[in-house]
A and B are shown apart, each in its own frame.
Chain A
């Protein structure tokens, strides 16, 4: 009897994994059959960094509402690990059908390196029409486009206008010396002009690039191309030296909140929402999220004051997010149908409104006067804008060297020349 029981056990040892393997095979077969047959289904991956519903998910829900036969599976990923997650999934062949990417080559989610690795599907004319003028090289190669711009993102300053007026800053500084004076007077009243997340590389890097807007790219919008052609370097650029020297000046003038070098992103949210700081170096769509946290305050998007008021103004405005289709997708038709729908003017406008950004199409007729973008409307209408510089840099190490270096400038660990040399070394 004992032997029978053990024989049964032995049989069970063999049968259970076999059955499990068969069951798993059956499951996977059923899934494949389902996805192959149901071409109206597709998945969408995007990054999230807070609990507010992502505009990408809202757009997808609107698409499903307009197309009841379509089912979208949303794969939200944490923003800080998004690049690596997407790359790993693409490499493994199990990435979502539609992926939110960034134009250019400066980040892990950037289009160009993913195109080089044959991970993205070329898109059609509706995507080509949405590529901002002058940004063609960031969206693809050899005349093909691999990303469909989702919105125009302005990057400059987001200011709490209500707090500024309450602090006696009725006229926003028009040049750098008046900005430094405002910083000193605010500092003496326990407030700061800027809220800075000094320990967060994305924020310190964004600040340095904002300072470089009027010092480098206003004078020479093609500076990045010259750097690619080795006609110049960061260390040889007077504009970049001035931009980083401006970081030191702002720090010495007390423009940042106390303890800024060790602060995280929460310091910006708290500072701007509470009014203890007046402005932050954050992407413009953040004004809308800040408004939800501080409904009594008015927020606006502004360009950082130039060195002199007579200097050329310049602001970064570019399509920083784009939709791309996974080349290994089995639901390309459904994914392309979604992108075609999202490229329609009604949808680009609706998406921009959801996110608090500018629409990627119809900028000429956009009403700047009544919204958060009234202070940068003239710059954009006059064409005094360009893409974020790092979208044209060859790898993310250059931006990391800038962002880490700025923290070193704040703590006194590094000099301007050291930071610029590190950026050149990272460029390769």
Chain B
């Protein structure tokens, strides 16, 4: 009976397989006039749209990086002038440093925090489902809306300064988002708060694939908790680490809306990133060519770090 069922399944699957080894019955079915799903040209509208929207539009945007277009009217091709201006401008270099600082710091902190939360909520705690939801909630909420709530929290008349005043530490109260030293850290706090839940979910998915038996075997062999984590759990979730850190870096490098809502890049450029500079140059200051050049630089940086990250965390085939 099992053999019969198996052969029926194979017969049903046969037309969906590749054309290299056609089964004896399939020719008849394909030439018999019945409907075939999966003609390659069915994808043409989708392919055309993807090419037009993603690649042609991006290519045209990249072309403007080599022009002096203001967003309206005519323009001239200016070669690499926009790129020279970027690397000579201390504001842009500051924005580049801020971008890298925010991306790598937020990825590191949110991944470490996400991993510990995932480990803590993996099996033991009874309320883990509620806690998972609570930790994941910042990912679901609108970054822009939550950034405005954070802005209120960090406001000079906001809860933090009210709390400081209530415990007699009113001297420490400051406009956190307009303080040159603190502004970038407040932005980092908001970014980490928003991305930790995402890392947690990826790590929880990775931890679900770690066999309990191996951990138990390690425990029986005398491995302590740290040794079990370092030698058993962490190697097993290396793909999850790769995914979480790669996505985190890409997300961190192009972060835009929380910064615009919190500080607008201020005070005096202290929290400016490449993404906020792209917006300001292209859309606020009418320097579309310069904005496109910055966007191209940002894209190259994201690509560079994404590739590096993938290579560093690539699983060993021997594993």
Contacts and interface: CB of A to CB of B under 8 A. Distances in A.
B177 A413 contact: no
Contact of B180 (A114, A260, A412): A412
Interface string B262-291: 011011111000000000100111110000
Interface string A379-409: 0000000000000000111001000110110
Nearest to A90: B72
B155 A3 contact: no
Interface residues of A, number: 39
A262 B153 CA distance: 13
Interface string A186-200: 000000000000110
B156 A407 contact: no
A6 B156 CA distance: 66
B216 interface: no
Contacts of A259: 155-157, 174-175, 178
A404 B72 CA distance: 25
A352 B72 CA distance: 32
A10 to B, nearest CB: 8
A114 B72 contact: yes
Given A87-B71, A262-B178, A6 B267 contact: no
A46 to B, nearest CB: 19
A414 B72 contact: no
B1 interface: no
A407 B33 contact: no
A118 interface: yes
B135 interface: no
Interface residues of B, number: 31
Nearest to A117: B73
A199 B177 contact: yes
B34 interface: yes
Nearest to A266: B155
A414 B287 CA distance: 24
Interface hub of B263, B266, B285 (most chain A Cβ within 10 A): B266
A108 B71 CA distance: 10
A397 B284 CA distance: 9
Contact of B267 (A87, A91, A118, A411): A411
A219 to B, nearest CB: 29
Nearest to A419: B268
B154 to A, nearest CB: 8
A263 interface: yes
Interface in B115-160: 155-157
A262 B268 contact: no
Given A90-B72, A91-B72, A259-B157, A400 B285 contact: yes
B98 interface: no
Contacts, number: 100
B141 to A, nearest CB: 22
Listed residue (A81, A400, A405, A408) with the most chain B CB atoms within 10 angstroms of its CB: A408
Nearest to B89: A425
B286 A414 contact: no
A47 to B, nearest CB: 14
A222 interface: no
A199 B259 CA distance: 13
Nearest to A118: B73
Contact of A91 (B71, B174, B270, B283): B71
Contacts of A117: 72-74
Contact of A413 (B33, B73, B157, B268): B268
B3 interface: no
Given A117-B73, A259-B157, A396-B284, A404 B269 contact: yes
A393 B74 CA distance: 21
A198 B72 CA distance: 31
A42 interface: no
A226 interface: no
Contacts of A198: 175, 178, 267
Nearest to A426: B285
Given A259-B157, A404-B269, A411 B73 contact: no
Given A91-B71, A113-B72, A407 B267 contact: yes
A261 interface: yes
B72 A199 contact: no
Contacts of B155: 259, 262
B267 A261 contact: yes
A81 to B, nearest CB: 8
B266 A199 contact: yes
B178 A199 contact: yes
Interface string A72-112: 00000000010110011011000000000000000010000
A397 B285 contact: yes
B34 A199 contact: no
A15 B256 CA distance: 43
Nearest to A81: B283
A261 B72 contact: no
A119 B179 CA distance: 43
A414 B268 contact: yes
B28 interface: no
B286 A411 contact: no
Interface centre among B33, B176, B269, B287 (most CB of A within 10 A): B269
A258 B161 CA distance: 12
A296 interface: no
A142 interface: no
Nearest to A85: B283
A410 B177 CA distance: 13
Contacts of A125: none
A413 B270 contact: yes
A201 B35 CA distance: 63
B251 interface: no
Contacts of A410: 178, 267
A364 interface: no
Nearest to B73: A117
Given A259-B175, A407-B266, A411-B267, A400 B34 contact: no
Contacts of B177: 199, 262
Interface of B: 33-35, 70-74, 155-157, 174-180, 263-264, 266-270, 280, 283-287
16 contacts: A87-B71, A113-B72, A113-B286, A117-B73, A119-B73, A199-B267, A258-B156, A259-B178, A260-B175, A261-B179, A395-B285, A400-B285, A405-B268, A413-B267, A413-B270, A414-B268
> Closest 3 interchain pairs by CB?
A259-B156, A262-B178, A117-B73
Interface of A: 2-3, 6, 81, 83-84, 87-88, 90-91, 108, 113-114, 116-119, 198-199, 201, 258-263, 395-397, 400, 404-405, 407-408, 410-414
Given A84-B284, A117-B73, A261-B267, 17 more contacts: A84-B283, A87-B71, A113-B72, A116-B73, A199-B264, A259-B157, A262-B155, A263-B178, A395-B286, A400-B284, A400-B285, A404-B268, A405-B268, A411-B180, A411-B270, A412-B180, A413-B267
